[in-house]
């Protein structure tokens, strides 16, 4: 029986991960900012421990993991799911909005992960799953800030995977496309306070309108996504990055193909940069 430690577990993908874990006989530590919401969501679930956790508070992350270990023994799987989206052109997003986004989506993830690593290392194994986004691999107009945060999550996850592999700890960043969760609701998705007319008739304006109407209509199945996460944890050689959903896979393939195509005419010039030729002395 494994113990899953899941952040942002009161709703959406986090709640689905917790439910799938206990349905298959595992235990779960469900964490989130609103303890009452967690307790309502998992009322009657004997194998779910609900703990309050604001991931932007590094001390709270350490305290939650300490209590989880004390009450459950080991922590086998850490799922960094807490986070939110932000829509707005790069010019529209303020420094305050950008810093708040990174505090949750990146620095909060790092606080939880750093607090968990010593025990994972001591027990000789475990799995850290960081919930990124396909936006991090394939950014588009209107989600530059969010894509930047998720690209940082992907980069640090790949570095962590290499650092922790000698200790038997796997690290995977999963990159969902549009899953049919509440991600597009006002609880999980925010809009820049500044809205410029210059972007209203372009792709940013179209995305802003489409996002408001797309809640609940996303093509990806969260149930199937969670089943894939459980298969990921059971795998002997899990990948470091994994798109979730046909739309995410197509976007990842397109991004790689585009980069290779753009590189080709510049390959020779890019590869020729080396030491300057020495000029003979007179």
pLDDT of res. 182: 57
- CATH number of the domain that 100 lies in? 3.40.50.720
> Is 279 among the domain residues?
no
From the list 84, 146, 191, 199, the catalytic residue is 146
> Is 277 among the domain residues?
no
> Is 165 among the domain residues?
yes
Angstrom CA distances, 51 to 7, 132, 188, 245, stand at: 10, 23, 20, 30
Sequence-ordered list of residues with C-beta below 8 angstroms from that of 9, at least 6 positions apart, any chain: 15, 17, 18, 28, 30, 31, 32, 38, 41, 81
> Is 161 among the domain residues?
yes
pLDDT of res. 220: 57
Residue 146 is among the residues annotated as catalytic for this protein: yes
Q: Domain of residue 148: give its range.
A: 3-271
Query: Can you list the residues of the chain whose pLDDT is less than 70?
Result: 179-188, 212-220, 275-282
pLDDT of res. 11: 86
Tell me the three state secondary structure of residue 87: strand
Sequence-ordered list of residues with C-beta below 8 angstroms from that of 104, at least 6 positions apart, any chain: 55, 56, 82, 83, 84
Query: Residue 171, Cα to own-chain centre: how many angstroms?
Result: 12
Rounded to whole angstroms, the Cα distance separating 252 from 5 reads 28
> Is 280 among the domain residues?
no
pLDDT of res. 185: 55
pLDDT of res. 225: 84
> Is 281 among the domain residues?
no
> Is 226 among the domain residues?
yes
pLDDT of res. 78: 98
> Is 209 among the domain residues?
yes
How many domains in the chain? 1
pLDDT of res. 213: 63
- Quickly count: other Cβ atoms within 10 Å of residue 30's Cβ: 29
Angstrom CA distances, 196 to 63, 94, 143, 206, stand at: 43, 12, 15, 13
Nearest CA to 78 out of 7, 152, 157 is that of 7
pLDDT of res. 273: 84
Angstrom CA distances, 197 to 32, 116, 165, stand at: 37, 45, 49
pLDDT of res. 163: 98
Whole-prediction pTM: 0.90
């Amino acid at each position: 029986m494994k113990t899953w430690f899941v952040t942002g577990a009161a709703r959406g993908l986090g709640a689905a991960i917790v439910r799938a874990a206990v349905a298959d006989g595992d235990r779960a530590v469900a964490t989130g900012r609103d303890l009452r919401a967690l307790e309502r969501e998992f009322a009657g679930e004997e194998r779910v421990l609900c703990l309050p956790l604001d991931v932007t508070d590094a001390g709270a992350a350490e305290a939650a993991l300490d209590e989880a270990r004390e009450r459950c023994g080991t922590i086998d799987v850490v799922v960094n799911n807490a986070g939110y989206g932000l829509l707005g052109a790069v010019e529209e997003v303020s420094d305050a909005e950008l810093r708040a986004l990174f505090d949750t989506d990146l620095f909060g993830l790092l606080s939880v992960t750093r607090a968990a690593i010593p025990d994972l290392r001591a027990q000789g194994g475990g799995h850290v799953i960081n919930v990124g986004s396909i936006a991090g691999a394939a950014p588009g107009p209107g989600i530059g800030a969010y894509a930047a945060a998720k690209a940082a999550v992907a980069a640090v996850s790949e570095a962590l995977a290499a650092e922790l592999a000698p200790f038997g700890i796997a690290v995977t960043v999963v990159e969902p496309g549009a899953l049919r969760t509440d991600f597009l609701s006002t609880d999980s998705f925010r809009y820049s306070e500044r809205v410029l007319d210059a972007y209203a008739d372009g792709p940013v304006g179209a995305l802003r309108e489409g996002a408001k109407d797309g809640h609940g209509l996303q093509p990806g199945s969260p149930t199937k996504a969670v089943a894939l996460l459980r298969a990921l944890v059971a795998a002997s050689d899990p990948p470091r990055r994994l798109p979730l959903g046909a739309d995410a896979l197509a976007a990842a393939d397109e991004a790689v193909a585009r980069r290779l195509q753009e590189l080709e005419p510049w390959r020779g010039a890019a590869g020729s940069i080396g030491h300057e030729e020495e000029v003979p002395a007179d």
